[in-house]
Structure 1
């Protein structure tokens, strides 16, 4: 059974990838610091599973990372570990630099030293895959899409910290020969997303009949990627991506934020109407825009599609319908996040 060291594997995208990887026959050593966004409830299906080992810890703890590499001998490292919420980065950027830059540096140095000590065959096949974001590219106008050669122009402390980590990964490949891969993805959505992000936040507030806050005029545009499609893309890049290359991962699903919110409202009005008969669109409330709010992101994933044969399996319409249905069916998971009880208990690992 091929072993991966996955960092940040209790967060939204990381945990979805861990579930995906184990389901596809991979063994995962899952290292996560369990900050507020790390949720072991998400990993409950893998409790006592031989293919999953959870370790609570920091990617910046070099002695811990080294011990895990020596003990478990992974064939690859997949790095999801990151502080990722833009609003939190505006309020407190230091944590983002510590995890996304300093932590990634420590992980890279441990990976380099481990890789150098591998036997020839294992060294040739080892990979370090770094998961990043389209936000490193900045903001687009009305036309065009981000490609892998788009110059970096990050506009928030979060995206600046991710840009720095991307540059470190590139430097470790070019300076030391570490066999790296980088993926830059568009906005993810789907099961198990922390309810401070737009889609799960709107679902919960709309269910409760509360005001639905929308930044500015609501016309900021994002390319939406279903998290399951993102997981399959990462696995494909890990299998066949060219060493040292970057691959953009997008859902081919550009939507204005206000369109996303109205779509959720319509789905909930169908599946769970409000008792007073109100249409949930009436709950939309425009609020002061976020500082430095990028206007438009759009990903060109043609390189990934051309070279590795990956395609998103979900349209936005099918993916958002599945997502709404998942949240309706998993309200206990959501409520444990909202009341904080998910942090009070830890699963056996």
Structure 2
């Protein structure tokens, strides 16, 4: 009877041994190896036990990344006629483009314009020639613009419309410059802009003649009526700073002139932070968590994987705002100490 009981107990002991072996195997799979654990702890002796042994990344840096949409010329169209002067938008215009119009005529009278066009300025020189500049944002179904002068004013009107994409629709003009006088040559007023990547548009008007476009500029129109001539040209300006000096000439004509300059403002850039670091030596950790804060307020951290990752992009950000980025490694509830990097973007 004793032998029978012992025979029955043997299988139970064997089963227990198997279960114990399987348990040890599971722990080996779930937990980091002793070597990895030792490496992570000794790599961060000051805070190893307080942070459960996960070593932090090192060398976190934050660099601004600015993505800009360049201002692009769409097209231009110019025309002359007795009052009223009707100008059609350039054929390639698309909804959201910014349209700029120059309307020039004899005398100093005030003209009427369509209600959806905003007058930037109107200048008169010598009492004999006036140039008015307007703008609007294209809708995609823009009717021709009609500009009307009082019936008592003599002579034809002449003008044009130029269209650009990539211009800030809410505040399209960054800065302007204007000058009047008389003579064969005019140098438009240089302007100083704090905005990067503008396009400078020059509008010239002259009594009884035209100005030639200097080299390096892109001529958009040159047209005459019976009493005045107009010239429009543009160029890109990287900026910020003071715009270059340009001279327009009209040999043999010393009559009154007007020179008007506008700097078109590009749409706001996409501002981001380009972050990079040296990976945590705790290769058994899961990954990282990244936190962005500004003005004492922190956003919820986001996870970055795998643990071998060494860079990411964070944004969008607000230009001129001070940010602090915190990065730490983790595995489950185990975390490393955090590394930080500041950034105040100025795109």
TM norm. shorter chain > 0.5: no
Q: Is the helix fraction higher in 1 or 2?
A: 1
TM-score (ref. length: structure 2): 0.22
Q: Select the structure with the greater relative contact order (CA < 8 A; seq sep ≥ 6).
A: 2
Q: Higher Cα Rg: structure 1 or 2?
A: 2
Q: Is the strand fraction higher in 1 or 2?
A: 2
TM-score (ref. length: structure 1): 0.22
